Amino acid sequence: MSEQIKRPVKITETILRDAHQSLIATRMTTEQMLPIIDIMDKVGYHSVECWGGATFDASLRFLKEDPWERLRKLRAGFKNTKLQMLFRGQNILGYRHYADDVVEYFVQKSIANGIDIIRIFDALNDLRNLECSVKAANKEKGHAQVAICYTLGDDYTTEYFVDLAKNIERMGADSICVKDMAGLLVPYKATELITALKSAVNIPIDLHSHYTSGVAGMTYMKAVEAGCDIIDTAMSPFAMGTSQPATEVMVETFKGTPYDTGLDQKLLAEIADYFRPQRDQALESGSLNPKVMGVNIKTLLYQVPGGMLSNLISQLKEQKAEDKYAEVLEEVPRVRKDFGEPPLVTPSSQIVGTQAVLNVLTGERYKMVTKESKAILSGEYGRTVKPFNPEVQKKVIGDKEPITCRPADLLKPELTTIEKEMEQWKEQDEDILSYALFPQVALDFFKYRKAQKEKIDLNLADTVNKAYPV
């Protein structure tokens, strides 16, 4: 390579969020994370993605942990590294749209508890659903990174993504992430897309992909050569498969080139050694299914993210209809087209996937319809790139007038009501938000938390960190 200006690529490490979300259904506990933080903090990562996404729900529901407490502990440990979270715009970390006051309060509390970078996305790429979160992050002096959900389809051209990026920059975003949740971005397309984005906007570009289709490592390489500033990677024990390319592999790939990360492989090896037994344990217990570790080329054919594939399999298992898997996979793109061809990412992937399963199992398309399918066709999730199939829309919502405004404009402020509802359980302001997002799950957790405290000698309690021995 001829003498070039040094342009080190930055690394966002996903081991504490997306990696374990993608491979072991978000089951890594805070206690499994804390012992290695000192070492991770020495690496020099651009950021560590450690919160948001499904971690919030999983902490409360399955791990009986307070997600806010996790964030505070991680913040205390990471003295030199920026902490990053994933945020679903107006959906926050839940599955419906919340009123602006809840969104603003959640952003405020996330930053106050230690988040530096908030990656905000909307499943439909409807920028109206991101305005409130971006403004709130700007107000709290946080870094607002807006993610563009990458997908394929007639309307998803390079021009479409460039227009989105320009609007995102105008909106006040500090950086842009190309969020390739299904591993659909192939290497030479990445060259074209990143080149176009870099010439259109003046804020950093981050690329986030999954290894599901087997191309993400090569895609990262072409993207970095084209000017991509940051790539998302996972430490090798929890890399590949439906997770991200391996951190150590990408660091070695760019070593000695103008894109050299400068990260120390010895430190990375120490971190990998720490996580390897956890991976082995996950394999033994069955929480890491070897099937998710292979290359699944169907993602390129059907544009179905890895997590969605496993959801479809489990839905069909429950119905004892595993033989219908191929049929359902073929139905997914048809439903997606009927629904205005949205990118398939939470929650649109679940909505389209479940509807495809119903269409196949009932033997008649849209004979049975979920309330989420009705909501999407009523415009309650926002605007899709293409119009809905009018016949399907009519069959599903009848004469109901679909909404065309920003869905949250129809929501009244919710915080005061929510706080009144859960007042007796409140131990910290953040509890209001846990309850706002997952009322029943949070309530069960609050009851568990109370029971745990009543069982112990409070003289032993570490009241400073609000940590109680169990």
The domain that holds 101 is classified in CATH as 3.20.20.70
**Whether residue 222 is found in the same domain as residue 358:** no
Provide the phi-psi class of 216: left if phi over 0, else alpha when psi is between -120 and 50, else beta. alpha
Residues forming beta bridges with residue 231, ordered by sequence position: 11, 207
Task: Tell me if 187 sits within 8 A of 208, measured CB to CB.
Answer: no
* 318 and 278 in a common domain: no
Residue 366: which region, alpha, beta or left (left: phi > 0; alpha: psi -120 to 50)?
Answer: left
Of 404, 433, 465, the one marking the end of a domain is: 404
Cα–Cα distance between 92 and 64 in angstroms, integer?
Answer: 20
Does residue 340 share a domain with residue 263?
no
Domain-located, residue 91: yes
What pLDDT does 1 receive? 47
| Cα distances (angstroms) measured from residue 413 to each of 97, 99, 213, 323 | 12, 6, 42, 47
Buried b (16+ CB within 10 A) or exposed e, 12-29: bbbbbbbbbbbbbbbbbb
Residue 80 near residue 39 (C-beta atoms within 8 A): no
* Residues β-bridged to residue 233: 13
- 184 assigned to some structural domain: yes
Q: Are residues 324 and 278 in the same domain?
A: no
Per the domain annotation, does 409 fall within a domain?
no
| Residue 388, domain member (yes or no) | yes
Structural domain ending residue among the three candidates 369, 404, 439: 404
Other C-beta atoms lying within 10 Å of the C-beta of residue 74: 23
- Asked if 271 and 223 sit in the same domain, the reply is yes
CATH number at 325 reads 1.10.472.90
In a domain, 259, yes or no: yes
**Percentages (nearest 5) of helix, strand, coil residues in the chain:** 55, 10, 35
Phi, psi (rounded to 5 degrees) for 325 = -55, -50
Instruction: Report DSSP letters for 70-131, one per residue.
Output: HHHHHHHH-SSS-EEEEE-GGGTTSSS---HHHHHHHHHHHHHTT--EEEE--TT--GGGTH
Q: CA 390, CA 394: separation in Å to the nearest integer?
A: 6
User: Radius of gyration over alpha carbons of the chain, in Å?
Assistant: 22
What's the whole-model pTM score?
A: 0.93
Q: Are residues 270 and 148 in the same domain?
A: yes
pLDDT digit string (tens) for the chain, length 470 residues: 446 799 999 999 999 999 999 899 899 999 999 999 999 999 999 999 999 999 999 999 999 999 999 999 999 999 999 999 999 999 999 989 999 999 999 999 999 999 999 999 999 999 999 999 999 999 999 999 999 999 999 999 999 999 999 999 999 999 999 999 999 999 999 999 999 999 999 999 999 999 999 999 999 999 999 999 999 999 999 999 999 999 999 999 999 999 999 999 999 999 999 999 999 999 999 889 887 888 888 788 877 776 677 778 878 888 999 899 889 989 999 999 999 999 998 889 989 999 999 999 999 999 999 999 999 999 999 999 999 999 999 999 999 999 999 999 999 999 999 999 999 999 999 999 999 999 999 999 999 999 998 886 656 655 555 544 43
273 and 309 part of one domain: no
Residue carrying structure tokens 């033997």: 363
Burial class (CB in 10 A: 0-12, 13-18, 19+), 241: buried
| Residues 272, 356 within the same domain | no
Of 258, 285, 312, the residue at which a domain comes to its end is: 285
Q: Are residues 246 and 342 in the same domain?
A: no
131, 118 Cβ separation under 8 angstroms: no
Residue 311, domain member (yes or no): yes
Q: How far apart are the first and last CA of the chain?
A: 58
254 in any annotated domain = yes
What is the length of the chain? 470
Q: How many other β-carbons are positioned within 10 Å of the β-carbon of residue 135?
A: 17
Same domain, 19 and 166: yes
Number of separate domains in the chain:
2
Q: Identify the domain containing residue 336 by its residue range.
A: 304-404
Q: For Cα atoms 239, 245, 247, give the angle at the middle one, nearest 5 degrees.
A: 80
Same domain, 313 and 184: no
Quick check: helix, strand or coil at residue 297?
A: coil
Token pair recorded at residue 206: 């981050």
Evaluate whether residue 59 is within a structural domain.
yes
Residue 337: phi and psi, rounded to 5, are -65, -45
Write down the H helix ranges in 363-438: 371-377, 390-397, 415-422, 430-437
Residues 118 and 213 in one domain: yes
pLDDT at 298: 78
Burial (Cβ within 10 Å: 0-12, 13-18, ≥19) of residue 390: exposed
- What is the Cα–Cα distance from 75 to 32, expressed in whole angstroms? 15
